[in-house]
Amino acid sequence: MPSSAPARTRASDLLRAARCEPVTRTPVWFMRQAGRSLPEYRALRAGTAMLQACTRPELVTEITMQPVRRHGVDAAILFSDIVVPLAAVGLDLEVVAGVGPVVARPVRTRADLDRVPELTGEHVPYITEAVRLLVAELGDTPLIGFAGAPFTLASYLVEGGPSRSHVRTKALMHGDPGLWHALCDRLAQVSGEFLRVQVQAGARVVQLFDSWVGALSRSDYARFVQPHSARTLAAVAGLGVPRIHFGVGTGELLALMGAAGAEVVGVDYRVSLTDASERIGPGHAVQGNLDPALLFAPWEVLREAVVDIVEEGRHVPGHIFNLGHGVPPDVDPDVLTRVTELVHDVSAR
């Protein structure tokens, strides 16, 4: 049973915006709001490997709370990583600082698939525990649970690590569609279950990250990706939580991403919220989309960009303010606090 939090968080502006209902202020949170931009994070994480840190509920709770306390954002996002469920089912991988996830033995053949078993809640007891601790501490502020979408996870597994071109992934997709679909089918189970575990423990919103899917054409997306992302999102359909779906460079894919089963589509800075909302169609909220680079611009420049986005957001069915991608590790965190206050101030009605 989820805790009593749902009743109290129902009125949250974030949940209301996600459902295209009126809000008192534009809700705001930042992708990667927990992490290296915060000195208190760097102090806590010192000496603990990333994936190790993700298995310690008290540490996860503290790291997740840090940006909520500091910035006054409208949501917490569970401190974890998209590869946590893959490590949990036994894949040998590491998250290397400054690089990203690195997989010891890439997954490229049918025999390799046997190394990716289905996920159950028993693989990730520390996630259930961390979410329960957080929900108790967060009060009215909703917790966002998340997972990586099958394409982005497959890219790490097939390439063996981060890739700019995704050449091996695309070669597998086109060269052996049967194996590709079998791999993504398995990853959809893993990610879907990972989301379900978080929601059942009390997460009130979920975000499915397909960070690198902007590397694909619309037809490849429709054929090789959308059915698997749809299956992942369907795992939490009917649980009453809004589903956000985000990727980078997805201007051509926004409508298909919404149609995969997301109430909210995350937009990067390359497409305006107005254009994005038109492409996605009525009944969907949008999330975004300040270019993270502007966090380094003079305040007056940044201020104008933030106000413009809030203003644009008033004319779409629902808007959650965020960056177009994650918080850069070297940003001054005080700037994020100021942006949060500004979004709240200029949108108050």
List the catalytic residues. 32, 36, 45, 81, 156
Helices 226-234 and 177-201 sit at what angle, rounded to 10 degrees?
Answer: 20
Of the candidates 78, 97, 30, the residue with the CA atom closest to the CA atom of residue 326: 30
Nearer to ligand CP3, 31 or 254 (CB): 31
Q: Cβ 229 to ligand CP3, closest distance in Å?
A: 14
Q: Give the single-character DSSP code of 293.
A: G
- The rounded distance, in Å, linking the Cα atoms of 279 and 99 is 33
Query: If we measure between CA atoms, which residue out of 204, 78, 207 comes closest to residue 140?
Result: 204
**Angle 177-201/150-159 helices, nearest 10 degrees?**
120
Under the binding rule (CB under 6 A), the answer on residue 268 touching ligand CP3 is no
| Segment interacting with ligand CP3, rule: CB under 6 A, options 8-16, 96-104, 114-122, 258-266 | 96-104
Q: Which is nearer to ligand CP3, 46 or 111 (CB)?
A: 46
Told to check if 145 binds ligand CP3 by CB under 6 A, we report no
Give the nearer residue to ligand CP3 in terms of CB position, either 211 or 232: 211
Q: Is 151 in the site for ligand CP3 (CB under 6 A)?
A: no
Residue 139 token pair: 């009060």
136 binds ligand CP3 (CB under 6 A): no
Of 151, 180, 194, 209, the one binding ligand CP3 by CB under 6 A: 209
Give kind and range of the element (H or E) at residue 144: strand 143-148
Closest CA to 144 of 66, 69, 89, 64: 64
Output the furthest CA–CA distance in the chain (Å, rounded): 58
101 is a contact residue toward ligand CP3 (CB under 6 A): yes
Please pick, from the candidates 11, 97, 167, 301, the single residue that binds ligand CP3 as defined by CB under 6 A: 97
Cα-based distances in Å from 340 to 55, 106, 225, 303: 30, 40, 34, 11
Written as six digits, the tokens of 7 are 């009743």
Of residues 8, 19, 25, 32, which one binds ligand CP3 by CB under 6 A?
32
Q: How many other C-beta atoms can be found within 10 angstroms of the C-beta atom of residue 236?
A: 24
For 12, list phi and psi in degrees, rounded to 5.
Answer: -60, 140
**Cβ atoms within 10 Å, residue 220:** 17
Is residue 147 at the binding interface for ligand CP3, with CB under 6 A as the rule? no
Q: Decide whether 77 or 342 has the Cβ nearer to ligand CP3.
A: 77
From 9, 12, 26, 33, residue interacting with ligand CP3 (rule: CB under 6 A): 33
47 is an interface residue for ligand CP3 by CB under 6 A? no
The answer to whether 318 and 15 are in contact (CB under 8 A) is: no
Residue 211 is a binding residue for ligand CP3 (CB under 6 A)? yes
Find the binder of ligand CP3 among 60, 74, 75, 79 (CB under 6 A). Answer: 79
**Does 312 participate in binding ligand CP3 (rule CB under 6 A)?**
no
Question: What residues between 59 and 78 interact with ligand CP3 by CB under 6 A?
Answer: 77
3-state secondary structure of 52: helix
Shorter beta-carbon distance to ligand CP3: residue 210 or 312: 210
**Tokens representing residue 300 in the block:** 């007056």
Q: Tokens 């409208």 label which residue? A: 74
| Binding-residue total with ligand CP3 (CB under 6 A) | 22
Report the residue number, 32 or 56, with the smaller CB distance to ligand CP3. 32
248 or 306: CB nearest ligand CP3? 248
Contacts with ligand CP3, residue ranges (CB under 6 A)? 31-36, 45, 50, 77, 79, 81-82, 95, 97-101, 146, 209, 211, 326
